[in-house]
Amino acid sequence: MQLLLWAELQKIRRSNIVWITIFAAILIAAIVFTGGLDMYKGPDVHYGLKTVYDGSRYIDNAGWYMDEVQPWATFFILPAVIALMGSYIICREEDDDTLKSLRLIPINEAKLTAAKMILTFAFSIFLYLLLFAVTFLAEAVLHFNSLSAELVLSALKEYFLDGVGVFFAVSPIIAFVPRMKKGYWPALVFTEIYSVAGLFAGMSDVLKQFYPITAVFNLSGYHLTSAGKIMMSMIILLLCGCLSLFLLKDLKHSKKM
């Protein structure tokens, strides 16, 4: 498995899709930053470890930027690019016609697919941690003294669990699209629709526990909620993982040969 993971990592060297995903992550951070330059007018808002004060720019409030980037990234960008990346690395063996060479080694295809899913999982966490690093650096430059260790660590935990949760939420799409030729582009579209739909699911208290994209926020702690609801969201995300396993098990590369 270690060898397969090493090989998968080598295969994505110089890959445009990796750069697209990193660019997308930084782009959303930049967009939220620009939005944060607006002035907040209204009563002071306290939630968790963060406060937004009346008459201040959003970005000047410690923790706001680290906090705000999470939903924007999760509803609009990262699930789609993670699905793109995951399905690309699964589809590419067929697309690049390397599968026959791998079979003649021989490679265990189940392990190969598992290595690809593990890499996608790691990549999902990496992208969220990259976003965390970007937001933390911006906050540190703007108001280092206002940042508490507790606030930073709590944000780090949220980003990490966002990465974990989003991978599980999009994994059924990653597992489904290799049935199509160049299935990674449809994966991008499907996942974008799926993640934006999370905005509407998030409007309902009940639905937001069950809809996988919003369930991610319950898991990560971005939504302050009860232990029961967190458990429910974890189960939903695990079910997504099980569904993807089922779909991958059913995936027969040889159909095209």
Partner 1 sequence: MNNINIAETNQNSKKSRITKAANYDSVIKTKQLTKKYGDQRVVNSVNLHVKKGRIYGLLGRNGAGKTTIMKMILGLTPITSGQVDVFGQNIKGHEKSIYPHIGAIIETPGFYPNLTGTENLEIFAKLRELNSPNAVKNALEVVGLPYKDKKLFSKYSLGMKQRLGIANAILHNPELLILDEPTNGLDPIGIAEMRDFIKNLSVLHEKTILISSHILSEISLLADDIGILHRGVLLEESSMSELERKNSKYILMQVSDVQKAALILAKQFNIKNYALKDNHTLHIYDTALDVGEINKALVTQNITVFSSGLCEDTLEDYFKKITGGKGIA
Q: Which residues bind partner 1 (CB under 8 A)?
A: 3-4, 6-7, 10-16, 92, 96-107, 254, 257
Residue number with CB closer to partner 1 (34 or 101): 101
Report how far residue 179's alpha carbon sits from residue 176's, in angstroms, rounded to the nearest whole number.
6
Closest distance to partner 1 from the beta carbon of 113 (Å): 15
Residue number with CB closer to partner 1 (34 or 98): 98
**Contacts for 53 with CB less than 8 Å, ≥ 6 apart:** 40, 44, 61
Closest distance to partner 1 from the beta carbon of 182 (Å): 14
Closest distance to partner 1 from the beta carbon of 253 (Å): 11
Closest distance to partner 1 from the beta carbon of 93 (Å): 8
Closest distance to partner 1 from the beta carbon of 185 (Å): 17
Query: Strand 45-47 vs strand 50-52: parallel, antiparallel, or unpaired?
Result: antiparallel
Report how far residue 135's alpha carbon sits from residue 60's, in angstroms, rounded to the nearest whole number.
12
Residue number with CB closer to partner 1 (107 or 201): 107
Residue number with CB closer to partner 1 (78 or 112): 112
* Four-residue CA torsion sign, 197, 200, 202, 207: negative
Q: Which H helix or E strand runs over 52?
A: strand 50-52
Q: Are 220 and 158 in contact (CB under 8 A)?
A: yes
Can you name the residues that pair with 51 across neighbouring β-strands?
46
Residue number with CB closer to partner 1 (10 or 145): 10
